[in-house]
Amino acid sequence: MAVEAIIFDFDGTIIDTELADFQAWKAVFDRHGLPLTLDLWRQRVGKAVHNGAQGVFLPERYFEQLKGYPLSADELRAQAEHYLRLCENLDVLAGVRELLEAARAARVGLGLASNSDRAWVEHWARWHGVWECFKCVVTRDDVENAKPAPDIYLKAAACLGVPPERCVAIEDSPTGMQAALAAGIRCIAVPNWLTMHLELPEGVALALSSLAELPFEALMARF
């Protein structure tokens, strides 16, 4: 079935903010002589992180559990500033710009579907010069249920005016892949170093090591 739209996840798919997030928090734990393992961190990847989040690893809470007291306001502020500095020095992941340019040239619709909030997504998409590529952007601010529920993807497809079955999603995390599949959207898995060892959901159409692995025409030919 022809592909009329491609819907991208953002964090970990377009830019690797997930790596920067881990590095900034790992520095905090290292300063206090505390462990912060990748197995724990992977419980956070791809999920909506906010106050009251259930089933999501929250490093500030974990720190307090280990130490018996919370991080100070100064330390939390320093961690956030470190995270932002790391994000400023990121580039978009391999193959992303080329795919965006080729899809636009082919008049394939482009959307963003993110579990992050809109302010975060818009800021970094503009910072890295890709914001204007997307006709539709849907974030956790726009739906009642974040990924792995299908709401974000369904709303993105509706905004693009394309039936879900004629869309393809690009995701790095199983949480996002589950959301796309639940929406009836075919999914390309492009795991990063944090997610590459996680089991992919059944039904993922294609798994790539990078979006640079296949040119646009060869990628679309898979569908």
- pLDDT tens string 171-206: 998 999 999 999 999 999 998 887 777 788 899 999
Q: Known catalytic residue: 9? A: yes
pTM: 0.89
Closest CA to 28 of 68, 97, 83, 69: 83
Q: Are residues 11 and 76 in the same domain?
A: no
Last residue of a domain, one of 38, 65, 88: 88
State the residue range of the domain holding 209: 5-16+91-221
Q: Are residues 123 and 35 in the same domain?
A: no
Q: Which of 11, 16, 21, 151 is catalytic?
A: 11
Compute the radius of gyration of the chain from its Cα atoms.
18
Q: Are residues 45 and 106 in the same domain?
A: no
Rounded Cα–Cα distance for residues 179 and 146 (Å): 9
pLDDT for 8-50, tens place per residue? 999 999 999 988 999 999 999 999 999 998 888 887 775 656 5
Question: What b/e readout covers 109-119, taking b as 16+ CB neighbours within 10 angstroms?
Answer: bbbbbbbbbee
Q: Which of 9, 16, 21, 172 is catalytic?
A: 9
